[in-house]
Amino acid sequence: MEVPGMVARLGFKPYVANLDDLLGGGIPEGSWVSLYGPPGGFKTLHALAWCLAGLANRDRCVYVSTEMDYAQLKRQLDSLGWKLGNVYEKQFTNKIVEDKEYGSYEMVWVDLDSLRFWAFKLNRLVSEEKGSGGRRKLYFWYNDPTLLTHLVMTALGAVGVLERTVSEVSLDEVLYARVKDGLYGEGRSKFKVNKDVRARVVIDSMSMFILGRYATAGKILTDMKVRLAAPNITYMVTSHVSKMTEEELGANIGHIVDGRIRLWQELDEKAGEARHHGWIVKMRETDHSRRLHSVTLEKRDQAMRIVWS
């Protein structure tokens, strides 16, 4: 729902009922939002629903999954009765940047195979620079936050939000390029931002990139925001909770994001069934619900939908 003079809202309809109203219209465009909670709380379903709702509204989508490959995604969506549009479903390689289809996709799916491929590619680039007299001492693992940032930027190019002004990728571009450098046409930028295209980016989940780096998790996400933030790009990251504290893994993540939605399930021993709950912990620029809500998965018109009540 868009209101003149206000930031556009990016909603979940029709895949999630009532949540948009509870958010005061949806997630404000340009925000960073965290979906967090223990396993089984419908985090991935909400992230997929938000992405597919964007495609239905002609937004572009980048979906980074550290838990599913594309075949698993298709099986899950088929079981829900949810449909995808024009998705780049092959291994995500540099070819998509160089060919004529660059910028022609509605959605790009990035999985662990993509991350491994790019880690290998960038390690080869480091090796080539060292061989030519450089002093680089870098090594990219598949769970490197810098690798993730570069991959998201490349995927944003594939969906037409970023447009490259050069064909070759340098290591400095991987390490230092920022979306905002191309937003205002700065001369040093290797790309420019298409302000007429709105994008939704999902990282499901962020936990893999901060595992073992809890003390610096806040810095990791801050660095990503500095490099990836733009008014026409909205980000949703999922993360798990610590069983000891029931808080998000990693220090200060909750303070860095603009919105936090907690999702979890608990066993109702009397009824003998699991019940799901949702709580909008915070959402900047919205008059959102402050109450605890039940969350259910219901069938409607041959497809499933999530219902907040």
For residue range 12-54, what is the model confidence (pLDDT) as tens digits? 999 999 999 999 999 999 999 999 998 899 999 999 999 999 9
Give mean pLDDT, residues 236-257: 73
Rounded CA separation 234/211 (Å): 24
Domain 9-308 - what CATH class? alpha beta
pLDDT band at 95 (very low <50, low <70, confident <90, very high): very low
pLDDT digit string, tens, across residues 67-82: 888 888 888 999 999 9
Asked whether the bond before 28 is cis by omega within 30 degrees of 0, the reply is no
Confidence band (pLDDT; 50, 70, 90) for 170?
Answer: confident
**Helix, strand, or coil (residue 28):** strand
CA 220 to each of CA 19, 144, 215, 244, 253: distance values in angstroms, whole numbers, following the listed order: 29, 10, 10, 22, 9
What is the structure's pLDDT at 1?
A: 44
Q: Round to whole Å and give the CA distance between 224 and 171.
A: 17
- Considering only CA atoms, which of 40, 46, 41, 44 is closest in space to residue 20? 46
Q: How sure is the predictor about 98, in pLDDT bands with cuts at 50, 70 and 90?
A: very low
SS (H, E, C) 271-309: CCEEEEEEEEEEECCCCCCCCEEEEEEEEECCEEEEEEC
pLDDT at site 93: 44
**253: pLDDT strictly greater than 80:** no
Is 221 in contact with 185 (CB distance < 8 Å)?
A: no
Q: How confident is the model at residue 97 (pLDDT cuts 50, 70, 90)?
A: very low
For the residues 177-200, what does the mean pLDDT come to? Answer: 81
Global pTM? 0.91
- What confidence category does residue 291 fall into, taking pLDDT thresholds of 50, 70 and 90? very high
Q: pLDDT higher for 118 or 143?
A: 143
| Amino acid letter, residue 118 | W
